[in-house]
Chains A and B, each alone.
Chain A
Amino acid sequence: MFKLVVIGTSLGGLSALKLLLAELPADFPAAIAVVQHRHRDSEDMMSSFLRPYIALPIKEVVDKDDLLPGTVYVAPSDYHLLVEADYFTLSTDEPVSYARPSIDVLFESAADVYGEFVIGVILTGANQDGAKGLAAIKAQGGSTIVQEPSTAESATMPEAAIATAVVDWILPLSDIAPHLTNLCQPVWK
């Protein structure tokens, strides 16, 4: 069963995330980690913006936060977010392809630690971050979803992901949350 969903997005991501996360039920069983490129001074505006729309608890990650099911974790601005077996770590290493947080960094660490139990999702964005990370997730046996580029505010990031990685599902934005819910449903249900 999937334990972790990692989501990466950039330009247009906030409204896409709002739509996607709002569709996830309160009993969604996997943890969700999100990298959204944004200005380094934007502090924890993002989680407070999203909180009213979604059923799951959401928080900006503090170093060594436990990774709990049914919780949305947002990469803080100006830090890379990485996962360990049961907690998160942060890093202030150099930006990767001009980005910190970097989607590739999160996805590659999720692939290493969670292997087949992770789902990678790439949404709208105006650069190529995340394409390599998504390929890493696939290579370690995980599953991959990309937003159908024509439904994305900026198609560059989804197109780069499709060109670089083996993508299991290319879906319009509105179909992604129901699909994640199906994929993550406990087998005994």
Chain B
Amino acid sequence: MPILRTYPFIRIWHAGCSTGQEVYSMAILLEEEGLYPRCRIYATDMNEMVLKQAKSGIFSLQLMQEYTQLYLKAGGKRSFSEYYTAAYDSAIFRSSLKENIVFSQHNLATDSSFNEFNVILCRNVLIYFNKTLQKRVYELFHVSLCPFGILGLGRQETLRFTPYEAYYEELKGSEKLYRRIH
């Protein structure tokens, strides 16, 4: 967050966003940090079905209860219920959370770069790709990240032993966050 605060405008790409949980978490975090108005979040997935679900912002109440626990654990500053409206056995995220999110179809295996980002998050997506495809996607991320942009991978993923290792420094802490330095 301290790094993001230094930018006048922040572009974030969730590559392989699936049904969008992480995207809404990010929107809430940015909102609570007062950064959301100057952010644009691009949420992409190759699967049109999951993208449609992500765009709807509708989740089961049962899941929402689970997410409430996670929100508290993550140090959320408000009441999680402020962010959604419940009806029957589902809940829908407030539409203002979606204001700066663009949902769009994009295939990491075949499509090319479509913008320059300050942050790219791609967690537990590349584990489904073989090494050749992974290399292609790391190349794609590299050309899509602005200098000093941040790439976030899953807990058990690494840039080590890839051709792009030297272009990034790993940020301290247990999360897999890499900063582009070349």
The stretch from B43-51, B57-65, B76-84, B124-132 touching chain A is: B124-132
Cβ-based interface call for B96 (8 A):
no
Residue pair B134, A64 in contact (C-beta under 8 Å): yes
Q: What is the CB-to-nearest-CB distance from B72 to chain A, in angstroms, rounded to a whole number?
A: 14
What DSSP secondary structure best describes chain A's contact surface?
A: loop
Q: Which residues of B contact A79 (CB under 8 A)?
A: 127, 156
CA of A61 to CA of B127, assembled, Å: 12
Q: What is the CB-to-nearest-CB distance from B59 to chain A, in angstroms, rounded to a whole number?
A: 16
Q: Which residues of A contact B174 (CB under 8 A)?
A: 43
Cβ-based interface call for A60 (8 A):
yes
Q: What is the CB-to-nearest-CB distance from A88 to chain B, in angstroms, rounded to a whole number?
A: 10
Residue pair B127, A76 in contact (C-beta under 8 Å): no
Residue pair A91, B158 in contact (C-beta under 8 Å): no
**Which chain B residue has the least Cβ–Cβ distance from A90?**
B127
Cβ-based interface call for B157 (8 A):
yes
**Which chain B residue has the least Cβ–Cβ distance from A80?**
B127
Contact of B126 among A60, A61, A63, A76 (CB under 8 A): A63
Q: What is the CB-to-nearest-CB distance from B116 to chain A, in angstroms, rounded to a whole number?
A: 27
Q: Which residues of B contact A43 (CB under 8 A)?
A: 155, 174
CA of A60 to CA of B157, assembled, Å: 11
**Which chain B residue has the least Cβ–Cβ distance from A82?**
B127
Q: What is the CB-to-nearest-CB distance from B50 to chain A, in angstroms, rounded to a whole number?
A: 14
Q: Which residues of B contact A76 (CB under 8 A)?
A: 155-156
Q: What is the CB-to-nearest-CB distance from A77 to chain B, in angstroms, rounded to a whole number?
A: 9
Q: Mark A43-78, 1 if CB is under 8 A from B, else 0.
A: 100000000000000001111100000000000100
- Tell which of A43, A62, A63, A79 has the most Cβ of chain B within 10 Å: A63
Residue pair A91, B128 in contact (C-beta under 8 Å): yes
Q: Which residues of A contact B156 (CB under 8 A)?
A: 60-63, 76, 79, 90
> Which residues of chain B from 116 to 144 have a CB within 8 Å of any chain A CB?
124, 126-128, 131, 134
Residues of A within 8 A of B (CB): 43, 60-64, 76, 79, 89-92
In the A-B complex, list the 6 residue pairs whose CB atoms are closest, starting with the nearest.
A63-B127, A92-B124, A90-B127, A76-B156, A63-B157, A62-B156
